[in-house]
Chains A and B, each alone.
Chain A
Amino acid sequence: MANYAARVKEDIARWAAAGLVDVAQAERLRADVDAREGAGFSFGGVLAMFAGLFLAAALLLLVAANWDAIPRLLRVAGFFLLIVGFYSGGAVLKDHGRRAFGEALWIAGAGAFGASIALIGQMYHLGGTEAAALITWSLGTGLAALLLNSKPLTIAASGIAAFWLFSHGGDFWDGTAFPDAFPLLAVALWLVSLRTGSRAARELLLLSLLGYVIVLALRGSLVTIGSLLLLGSGALFAVAVLFLRQLDLVLRLGGRILAYCLLGALTGLALLQARYLDDVGAFTVLAALNFAAIAAALVLGGARSAGLRRIAYAGFAVELVAVYVITLGSMLDTVSFFLAAALVLGALSVAILKLERRMADRTLFGGGTA
């Protein structure tokens, strides 16, 4: 955010110097950037949020310690009072303009709710119900986010859902624990995030969904799930390239959806490659497909998304190293593969550079609509 603000201010200075905007307009633009930057980030706010998280963690640990100096019923009543106090106290603080402290108290309230769930599990020795407890906690926090229109609570609910996924999804041998219902929970929280306007929560959910698909592939079929992920991501990418604005009305991820599509496609290819590690022919084809996908993504969406560019570069580096390490048949085969790739990408870059120059010329001299 700070980065972006600094860049925009440089641009405004340049535009003002070039006479594109007048001095008064430049001043107003700068003021607007400052106002938004102030709303987006403040150290005090972050520290308040940390304090809220610490408070929540302390409550959870207090339950874990099973401290029996206070009678049970009193402990339950105490936690109920904390829930009421944190949520309503947070609301009062927000009403009085103390936005950060209010949100921090709500986070503590979500913590008190989670701690109460754990306390009840402990009181009645409820075994094997962590999954149910985490889902309940996530849904309860999501409900609070919805009713209080709170971004931090939306992120907290998504974070709890992600924790459920990754704490249980890795448990390969215990099928009872597999978080089958995660996509449903993710969709519900996605809807909450649309209402509360939390893009961070949506990105967290999207990454978790990708993790869910990976776990699904590792447990089931690498080929089927990997191909579906590849095709699905590719199709969504195509839609995003053609109808970014319309798609964003639903997803509200800005240009980043392009980056996530590429990440999904590359993950799908990686799953397929993991299956064909010992099949030189298939592995080579998949590697070529990987480089082609990265090149295509850069050409089609690279200008619109910095995130896509970053994932493309990282994906390129990872695949290059992978092909280098996993020799294709013989080292000479790998050498010829790299040479062929160099020639193809080189030719492609010459063609694209030419195209870009021509388009630049047209916009400069013809004022064209391209």
Chain B
Amino acid sequence: MSRLVAAALVVALLQIGFLSWVITGRAAILRNGAEVLLRIEPVDPRDLLRGDYVQLAYGISNLPVRLIADRPPEAGLSDGETIKVRLAKTADGTWDAVAAYLGEPPAEPEPEQVDIAGRIPPGWALSPESTVPVAYGIERFYLPEGEGLAIEIDTRMRPFTMAVAVAEDGTAQIKALMDGEDRLYEEPLY
């Protein structure tokens, strides 16, 4: 084997190795992460279909600033902060935000509570009476070509929920799109 072919194999193995590492990381969240059920909110229809994924917003996507326990005393503008949002199970089985922390949460979440990691885009007012958008990296749901629109119309007709796996560090991973008790699209590990 020539030196060049060896170099080519090294390149291929490095790239494949990296890709496999991403896949196993995500599969690990699906396998081991705590499962929470989030309410899906209807999104402005103009934003809905971009290519073959559905743009989603959740009940926790708009976070009331008063929930942020360690927010800065004077109400400034957000600067792209990461945030941990503490979710708790509600009576109807879905999970909702009960507190949020810009820094490390002071205490471990109680049973039936999970911390999910998100990010506030810059330029939003952090005053107590307002809400800020939070992105959790689960705002997009890919579908086979042509199936997107039907799903979006449905989300405006009746409430859908999303089963989401949350890793120890708060990273969220979409697990299944739910219509009531039915799992519409269940994600296999790989």
Chain A positions within 8 Å of B, measured between CB atoms, are 64-68, 72-73, 76, 80, 83-84, 87-88, 90-92, 94-95, 106, 109, 113, 116-117, 120, 122-129, 136, 140, 143-144, 147-148, 173-176
Contacts and interface: CB of A to CB of B under 8 A. Distances in A.
B5 A80 contact: no
Contact of A83 (B16, B22, B140): B16
Contact of B140 (A90, A127, A173): A127
B139 interface: yes
A123 B19 CA distance: 12
Interface in B131-161: 135, 137-145
Given A127-B138, A176-B119, A143 B14 contact: yes
Interface string B171-182: 001100000000
A84 to B, nearest CB: 4
A123 B26 CA distance: 10
Interface in B7-30: 7-16, 18-19, 22-23, 26
B11 A72 contact: no
A304 B67 CA distance: 65
Interface in B69-83: 80
B10 A176 contact: no
Contacts of B7: 91, 147-148
Contacts of B144: 66-68
A51 B51 CA distance: 26
A176 B80 contact: yes
B85 to A, nearest CB: 16
A76 B23 contact: yes
11 contacts: A66-B145, A67-B144, A76-B19, A80-B19, A84-B12, A88-B5, A88-B9, A123-B190, A124-B174, A143-B15, A147-B10
Instruction: Name the residue among B11, B80, B137 with the largest chain A CB count within 10 angstroms.
Output: B11
A176 B119 CA distance: 9
Contact of B18 (A88, A90, A140): A140
Contacts of A72: 188, 190
Contacts of A125: 53, 138, 140-142, 173-174, 187
A280 to B, nearest CB: 34
Nearest to B30: A124
Nearest to A112: B15
Nearest to B20: A80
Nearest to A144: B11
A117 B19 contact: yes
A94 B13 CA distance: 19
A87 B9 contact: yes
A352 B73 CA distance: 66
B123 interface: yes
A127 B15 contact: no
Given A72-B188, A73-B190, A84-B16, A91 B4 contact: yes
Contacts of A116: 15, 19
Contact of A174 (B12, B121, B137, B145): B121
B41 interface: no
A84 B9 contact: yes
A210 B16 CA distance: 34
Given A144-B11, A176-B121, A124 B140 contact: no
Size category of the B interface is 35 or more
Given A64-B52, A120-B22, A125-B174, A87 B14 contact: no
Contacts of B122: 175-176
Sort A-B residue pairs by CB-CB distance and give the 4 closest, nearest first.
A127-B140, A91-B8, A175-B122, A87-B8
Contact of A126 (B16, B140, B188): B140
Instruction: Name the residue among B2, B8, B80, B190 with the largest chain A CB count within 10 angstroms.
Output: B8
B137 A129 contact: yes
Contacts of B145: 65-67
Contact of B139 (A87, A127, A148): A127
Given A64-B51, A68-B144, A175-B122, A83 B139 contact: no
B123 A91 contact: no
Contacts of A76: 19, 23, 190
A89 B10 CA distance: 13
A120 to B, nearest CB: 6
Nearest to B148: A66
B83 to A, nearest CB: 13
Nearest to B13: A84
B126 to A, nearest CB: 15
Contacts of A128: 135, 137, 139-140
Given A128-B137, A176-B80, A87 B4 contact: no
Interface in B49-67: 51-53
Contacts of A84: 9, 12-13, 16
Contacts of A67: 144-145
A87 B5 CA distance: 8
Contact of A175 (B121, B138, B142): B121
Given A83-B12, A87-B9, A148-B8, A126 B137 contact: yes
Nearest to B188: A72
Instruction: Name the residue among A64, A84, A94, A106 with the largest chain B CB count within 10 angstroms.
Output: A84
